[in-house]
């Protein structure tokens, strides 16, 4: 193994460690919301610094590889993809922390009818599943698996599209649902953006493996 190959493997390992942390953040945010576990939600908020630390470290390592080894072809695409995936993972971490803030900022568990009718928890499960698929695609260098996340993202878009009307109905039936509906809608919007970030990650995996740029193109 050449020194460049060693550095690229180390970079991949670092990104996977960050991926595991961000996945854990999103999963804990879901558990804290479901169980109204404010202690777990605060843990997610505190761990946000670790996510940011990983992002800075990986960015620096990528810059060092560019400066010291001048990678070309597939190696160059790999490092470029790592840079962008690193950014996308940090954004997912931000959204997980934002969801946790809504849990710590509310006084009572979320209304179960609101969670069910809006499909908020199902949306979280779908986003977490997308994280798992994208990670496997990266580890196994599987472009087909990366593409499978696009369809799941469409599901998140559909849930987000109809959530406003559903929540408006709850508020019209009882104005006391207003704050809770506002929080729920904000969480749903964050989850929709999580889906977008994971889709971006999948596009970068495909770019690395196939030298195809999918950004701004119709997914399918």
Which pLDDT score is estimated for 220?
A: 42
Alpha-helical segments (H) within the chain: 3-35, 38-69, 73-104, 112-118, 120-140, 143-173, 178-210
Q: How confident is the model at residue 167 (pLDDT cuts 50, 70, 90)?
A: very high
Number of domains within the chain: 1
Write the pLDDT tens digit of every residue in 42-52: 999 999 999 99
Q: Is residue 218 in a domain? A: no
Q: Is residue 139 in a domain? A: yes
> What CATH code is carried by the domain that includes residue 48?
1.20.58.220
Q: Which residues does 92 contact at the CB level (< 8 Å), separation at least 6?
A: 22, 25, 26, 131, 194, 197, 198
Burial 171-210 (b: 16+ CB within 10 A, else e): eeeeeebeebbebbbebbebbbbbbbbbbbbbbbbbbbbe
d(CA 81, CA 94): 20
Mean pLDDT of 119-130: 96
Residue 177 DSSP symbol: G
Which pLDDT score is estimated for 217?
A: 60
Q: Is residue 217 in a domain? A: no
Write the pLDDT tens digit of every residue in 202-218: 999 999 999 888 775 65
Q: Is residue 63 in a domain? A: yes
Mean pLDDT of 149-168: 94
Which pLDDT score is estimated for 108?
A: 86
Tokens representing residue 175 in the block: 């104005």
Mean pLDDT of 135-156: 96
For residue 36, the enclosing domain spans 3-210
Which pLDDT score is estimated for 219?
A: 47
Which pLDDT score is estimated for 107?
A: 86
């Amino acid at each position: 193994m050449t020194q460049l190959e060693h550095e690229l493997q180390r970079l991949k390992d670092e990104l996977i460690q960050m991926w595991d942390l961000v996945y854990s953040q999103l999963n804990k945010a879901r558990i804290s919301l479901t169980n109204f576990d404010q202690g777990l939600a605060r843990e997610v908020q505190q761990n946000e610094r670790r996510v940011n630390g990983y992002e800075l470290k990986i960015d620096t390592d990528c810059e060092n590889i560019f400066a010291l080894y001048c990678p070309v072809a597939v190696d160059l695409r790999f490092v470029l993809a790592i840079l962008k995936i690193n950014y996308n993972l940090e954004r997912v971490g931000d959204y997980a922390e934002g969801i946790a803030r809504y849990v710590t900022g509310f006084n009572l568990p979320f209304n179960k009818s609101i969670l069910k009718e809006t499909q908020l928890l199902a949306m979280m499960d779908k986003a977490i599943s997308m994280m798992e698929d994208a990670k496997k695609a990266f580890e196994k260098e599987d472009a087909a698996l990366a593409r499978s996340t696009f369809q799941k993202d469409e599901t998140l878009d559909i849930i987000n599209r109809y959530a406003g009307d559903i929540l408006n109905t709850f508020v019209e039936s009882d104005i006391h649902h207003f704050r809770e509906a506002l929080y729920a809608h904000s969480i749903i919007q964050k989850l929709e953006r999580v889906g977008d970030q994971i889709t971006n990650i999948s596009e970068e995996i495909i770019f690395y493996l196939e030298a195809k740029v999918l950004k701004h193109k119709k997914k399918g």
